[in-house]
């Protein structure tokens, strides 16, 4: 499955930085550690659009850097964020019902796409009636 994502350009392999404890996806035949990063196409596929701005030309030519990641309206990602922004937040069960994702997918999505990639602060608390509830602060 991961190889198909790499082949379609949604993920790409890059040299892992062991000093930064990058997760190692695989080792090459010559023993180099490789990790995976999501590409702009991969971000777009999950509803995140990246805008770029040009920086000053350098020896290797003009460079671009990401300036902002936008959430595409009408996506499941936008739906989940909207649910989490409600005053009452949302439970995993409520998100499962709205998106048809598996609960483990939702937990990974909260930690990966929302916290790490978008930098959202996700608050978790125990509600006596609804159970574990999540909300964007």
Cβ(43)–Cβ(49) under 8 Å?
yes
**Domain span(s) for CATH 1.10.10.10 in the chain:** 73-136
In terms of CATH architecture, what is 73-136?
Answer: Orthogonal Bundle (1.10)
User: How does pLDDT run across 51-89, given as a tens digit for each residue?
Assistant: 655 555 445 555 555 555 667 788 999 999 999 999 999
User: How does pLDDT run across 35-50, given as a tens digit for each residue?
Assistant: 888 888 888 777 776 6
73 contact partners, CB below 8 Å, separation of at least 6:
none
Cβ(109)–Cβ(101) under 8 Å?
yes
115 against 95, higher pLDDT: 95
Mean pLDDT of 18-46: 85
Mean pLDDT of 110-129: 88
């Amino acid at each position: 499955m991961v190889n198909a994502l790499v082949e379609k350009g949604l993920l790409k392999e890059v040299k892992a930085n062991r000093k930064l404890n990058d997760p190692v996806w695989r080792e090459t035949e010559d023993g180099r550690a490789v990790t995976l990063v999501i590409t702009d196409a991969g971000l777009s596929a999950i509803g995140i659009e990246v805008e770029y701005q040009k920086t000053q030309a350098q020896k290797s030519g003009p460079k671009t850097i990401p300036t902002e990641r936008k959430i595409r309206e009408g996506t499941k990602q936008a739906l989940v964020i909207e649910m989490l922004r409600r005053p009452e937040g949302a439970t995993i069960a409520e998100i499962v019902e709205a998106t048809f994702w598996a609960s483990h997918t939702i937990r990974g999505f909260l930690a990966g796409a929302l916290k790490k990639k978008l930098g959202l602060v996700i608050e978790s608390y125990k509600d006596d009636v609804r159970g574990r509830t999540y909300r964007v602060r």
